[in-house]
Structure 1
Amino acid sequence: MLQLVEQIQEAVAVIRQKWQADAAAGIILGTGLGGAASLLEVEATLPYESLPHFPESTTIGHAGQLVLGTLAGKAVVAMEGRFHAYEGYSHQQLTFPVRVMHALGAGVLLVSNACGSMNPEHATGDIVVIDDHINLMGDNPLIGVNDDRLGPRFPDMSAPYDPQLIEAALAIAGNEGIAAHRGVYVAVTGPNLETRAEYRFLRTIGADVVGMSTVPEVIVAVHAGMRTLGLSVVTDMCLPESLEPANVEAIIAVANAAEPKLRKILVGVVGQLRD
């Protein structure tokens, strides 16, 4: 079995046959948000199945391809669709693309997701700029033997989301008239949505929004020494006393409608990255 470093090198070698740029940032586009990839001046598009050691994206609303090109004058590599633990993948598998992005030169990871909000001050379509997270997934992508070439055994997580990127995102949102909030994201495994009691619990422990992704990817990015920014689109309100049955199609529709807001923030943040 190949070591993780060798698997990364194999994937990078295939990508380099199509794209030779040194990436400034990696972008992960979540549920219903993949259309934001159209912002890129595309230089190459690679389906995940064409890349060694990449899992297959099976979730509705996820195209399943790597898009490479430029955004706001910066070279970027974007995942149009991500992987989830509920698809049966290990955390090492679902975070593998982050390792590849870093190996392509990306020093920044911009990650987006669709989320449910337990915060009554939020509304559907709002953007939450993640300033901290809680991992309730019962797993961690760093479990196992640590390869010091990829990062330290015990990475510090006191500030997993870069303060400067957070402030930049909030400022851009304010200038664009976009409703945006700073908040705490809690990650759960899924695929079922939560019960009323679970939403009460998540709110009590300090979470504003909940989703089934992002945290493993951010852990790996921090391990690799990348700066990270997390953007959540509130697609449904999860207030226990007024909870309505979830509709996945409606959630995706809200994410699609909010996509222009996400695009403006992504373009603004990437444009401010230093060369």
Structure 2
Amino acid sequence: MSTDHDPTALAAAAAQELARLTGVARHDIALTLGSGWGGAADVIGETVAEVPADQVPGFHASGVAGHSGTLRSIRLANGSHALLIGARTHFYEGRGVRAVVHGVRTAAAAGAKVMILTNGAGGVDPAFGAGEAVLISDHLNLTATSPIEGANFVDLTDLYASRLRDIARSVEPSLQQGVYVQLPGPHYETPAEIHYLRAIGGQIVGMSTALEAIAAREAGMEILGLSLITNPAAGMGDDPLNHEEVLEAGRAAAPRLAELLGRVVAAL
């Protein structure tokens, strides 16, 4: 079977090519850096190699401003290696759910046992202020799809590992936790939709992460999720929503987020 029709084989081929291009045979931890989190790449450790994502099977150049479009191998202080995925494919890009989760499947095939997923998101819970980092405690997947194919019944209890969240909170005790909601996008939500999300337990809303977390769990990885609250969600603030606001919030918070993520990775 060609790798085009077998996502596991495609991930294995991508991991093999990644090892060849970076010279790193195995990556122990992987991070997908969403809006606002890209600066962490420079403080986590020593960059060994950085390759354009579209040189690796199954990856595409990033289609969203605020994402680097590269895959970076970083040597950590303890001698292990982290894979930084700056080429997230979003569900709304229309490439299908396999493309959305190809990065995490490649990370697993490259040897990663821990997957850190970060994003920029809207604050549904008024307790979360713009510019704040929030741990994802659980999620609501409202994309009406799953990355899991066939009769493979994957347990999602403790999907965002309590062990990893405890480590993160030991590093930064002020971190709040919340339930993340993934919607398909690319449009922002209406105030009525945000009211609905609050009613069903959502506290953070965005357009990524949940599908990736499911695929990471299927692949046997532990998952840590972190959201940068870039803005109050629709109806929670006075101003209209726009992507430039998301990017600006990310730029403003970037140094603080990078320092936080660097400390968390060092503690894992």
Map 1:232-271 to 2 at 5 A: 232-238=227-233, 240=235, 242-271=237-266
What displacement does 1:80 show? Answer: 1.7
Aligned to 2:72: 67
Shift in alpha-carbon separation, 1:81–1:31, aligned structure 2, 3 A: farther
For residues 208 and 107 of structure 1, what CA distance do their matches in structure 2 show?
28
Matched, 1:57 2:62: yes
| 1:30 and 1:81 in contact (8 A); partners too | no
For residues 241 and 130 of structure 1, what CA distance do their matches in structure 2 show?
20
**Which amino acid letter does the alignment assign opposite residue 36 of structure 1?**
A
Shift in alpha-carbon separation, 1:202–1:246, aligned structure 2, 3 A: same
For residues 6 and 134 of structure 1, what CA distance do their matches in structure 2 show?
29
Percent identity between the two aligned chains: 34
Matched, 1:83 2:89: yes
Aligned to 1:195: 190
What displacement does 1:124 show? Answer: 0.6
In structure 2, list runs of 5 or more residues that go unmatched: none
* TM-score relative to the length of structure 1: 0.90
- CA displacement 1:212-242 (0-9 Å, x = unmatched): 0000110011111111100000000126264
Aligned to 1:111: 117
- CA displacement 1:26-58 (0-9 Å, x = unmatched): 000002322221223111111111011113320
SS of match in other structure, 1:202: helix
- CA displacement 1:157-177 (0-9 Å, x = unmatched): 111011011111122223xxx
For residues 258 and 76 of structure 2, what CA distance do their matches in structure 1 show?
11
For residues 135 and 9 of structure 1, what CA distance do their matches in structure 2 show?
27
Aligned to 1:150: none
SS of match in other structure, 1:184: strand
SS of match in other structure, 2:172: helix
Indicate the larger mover: 198-207 or 65-74: 65-74
Matched, 1:228 2:206: no
Match for residue 206 of structure 2 among 211, 235, 239: 211
For residues 255 and 81 of structure 1, what CA distance do their matches in structure 2 show?
17
User: How many residue pairs end up in the alignment?
Assistant: 262
For residues 195 and 79 of structure 1, what CA distance do their matches in structure 2 show?
31
Aligned to 1:272: 267
Shift in alpha-carbon separation, 1:11–1:241, aligned structure 2, 3 A: closer
For residues 270 and 180 of structure 1, what CA distance do their matches in structure 2 show?
15
Aligned to 2:15: 12
Match for residue 44 of structure 1 among 46, 49, 70: 49
Matched, 1:138 2:125: no
SS of match in other structure, 1:220: helix
Matched, 1:25 2:29: yes
Shift in alpha-carbon separation, 1:239–1:10, aligned structure 2, 3 A: closer
**Which amino acid letter does the alignment assign opposite residue 52 of structure 2?**
P
For residues 5 and 206 of structure 1, what CA distance do their matches in structure 2 show?
34
Shift in alpha-carbon separation, 1:4–1:118, aligned structure 2, 3 A: closer
| 1:183 and 1:208 in contact (8 A); partners too | yes
- CA displacement 1:97-149 (0-9 Å, x = unmatched): 1111111110000110001011111111111100100000111111x346xxx
| 2:123 and 2:233 in contact (8 A); partners too | yes
Shift in alpha-carbon separation, 1:244–1:154, aligned structure 2, 3 A: same
Shift in alpha-carbon separation, 1:145–1:55, aligned structure 2, 3 A: farther
In structure 1, list runs of 5 or more residues that go unmatched: 147-152
Indicate the larger mover: 104-113 or 24-33: 24-33
Indicate the larger mover: 153-162 or 6-15: 6-15
Shift in alpha-carbon separation, 1:21–1:262, aligned structure 2, 3 A: farther
**Which amino acid letter does the alignment assign opposite residue 89 of structure 1?**
R
Runs of 4+ in 1 over 6 A off after TM superposition: none
For residues 163 and 259 of structure 1, what CA distance do their matches in structure 2 show?
25
Matched, 1:154 2:153: yes
* TM-score relative to the length of structure 2: 0.92
